[in-house]
Structure 1
C-alpha cells in the first residue's frame, strides 16, 4: 500500500515564503544588468534554478523532521534508565555518515530513511526482557514510524524500479505503518545492523542488557541523522 505524505498548511506557507525570497533576489540581480540579451538569458537561467529548487526541496525535512527527531530522542532517553556506555562489540559506521554528508540532498534523505527503516526493523521485536516504560516505548515507535514514512515520501516519488520503497500495513498488537525496502540500499549499513542484532539479541543470554546496548546504538544513530539533517538539508 503506497503512501504519499501530504503537505500541511504550515509547510506550504514555509515553501511559499522561501520561493518569494528566491524570486525577489533573482529579480534584483536581473535589474542590475543593462544588456537586454543578458537580462533575457539571466531570466531563463533564473527560471531553471527556481524550478530545480522547487522539485528538489522537501519542506518536511527542514520544518518537521527536527521536531520528530527531538521527540524520538527524548522518549528514547526517558523510557528507561540512563543509557549505558558499555561497548557493543560492533564498530559504529561513522565512515558511512561521513560519506553521506558529501552526497546530494536527495541521497542524504535516502540514507536517513534507510537508517530509520533499519532502526524500526531492529526494534520490531517482543521487548519484554527489559523494564522499559511501555507507554513511552509505544509513543517512541509511533513517532519513529511517522518520521520514517514522511521522510521516505520525500524520495519515493523520485525513485524508479527496484529503488522504490513500499509502505505496508502491519498488525502486531496495534496497527502501525512500517516501511519495507525492496532494495538493499546501502549494503554496508544493512550489514552493520544485522551484525548488531547478532552480537546482542542473537548471542547474549542477558536479553535485558542486549536491549540496553541496542538502545545505546539507536540513540547514537538518531543523534547522527538529526545532525545530518540539520546541517546538510
Structure 2
C-alpha cells in the first residue's frame, strides 16, 4: 500500500469517525426534540380528523332537524338516527381538546348551509329529502375512513 493510499484511508476513517461522533451527539440531544415534535403533530392531525367528524355529525343533526313533514321516513326512525348521530358527536368531542373544538371548518358549514337552502327552495320535498339522505350516507361512509379501528 502506498503512502498516498494509506493517507487517504486514514483521512476517510478520521472523517467517518467525526461524522459518527456528531451523529451520536445529535441522537442524544436533537433526536428526542424532533421525535417529540413529530409525535405531537401526529396527535394534532388525529384531533383535526376527529374535530372535523364531530362538526360533520353536528351539521347532519342540524340539517335533519328541519321541517320533515314531506320526508319519506317514519318519525321514530328519524329520532333514532338523530339520537345515534348525537351520541357519536358527543363521543368524538370527548376525544378532542376543548380549545380545538372552537375552530370550525367554514367550508363544511357552507356546504350544509347550501343543503339547507336546497331543502327550503324545494319546500322540503320528498325528493329533496331523499337526495339529502343519500348525500349524508356517502359523507358518513367517507368519514368512517378517517378514523381507523384503533386510533393511536
**Structure 2, unaligned stretches of length 5 or more?**
1-23
- The equivalent residue for 1:112 is 53
In the other structure, the counterpart of 1:212 is 130
- Which stretches in structure 1 are left out of the alignment for 5+ residues? 1-36, 57-102, 166-182
Match of 2:90 among 144, 149, 165: 149
Structure (1 or 2) with the larger CA radius of gyration: 2
Instruction: Report what 1:12 is aligned to.
Output: none
Query: In the aligned structure 1, how far is the partner of 2:61 from the partner of 2:112?
Result: 11
Distance, in Å, in 2 between the alignment partners of 1:191 and 1:123 is: 16
User: So what's the TM-score if we normalise by structure 1?
Assistant: 0.44
- Following the alignment from structure 1 to structure 2, what is the Cα–Cα distance between the partners of residues 208 and 194? 19
Change (3 A) 1:229 1:108: same
Residues 192-226 of structure 1: per-residue CA shift (max 9 Å, x gap): 11111212x11114611111111011101100100
User: How far apart, in 2, do the equivalents of 1:153 and 1:138 lie?
Assistant: 23
Number of residue-to-residue matches in the alignment? 119
Matches within 5 A, 1:178-217: 183=103, 185-199=104-118, 201-205=119-123, 207-217=125-135
Q: Could you say what the CA RMSD is over the residues aligned between the two structures, in angstroms?
A: 3.0
Secondary structure class of the residue paired with 1:144 = helix
CA distance in 2 between counterparts of 1:189 and 1:206 reads 21
Between Structure 1 and Structure 2, which shows a larger proportion of helix residues?
A: 2
Question: What is the CA-CA distance between 1:232 and the residue it aligns to?
Answer: 9.3
TM-score (norm. length: structure 2): 0.65
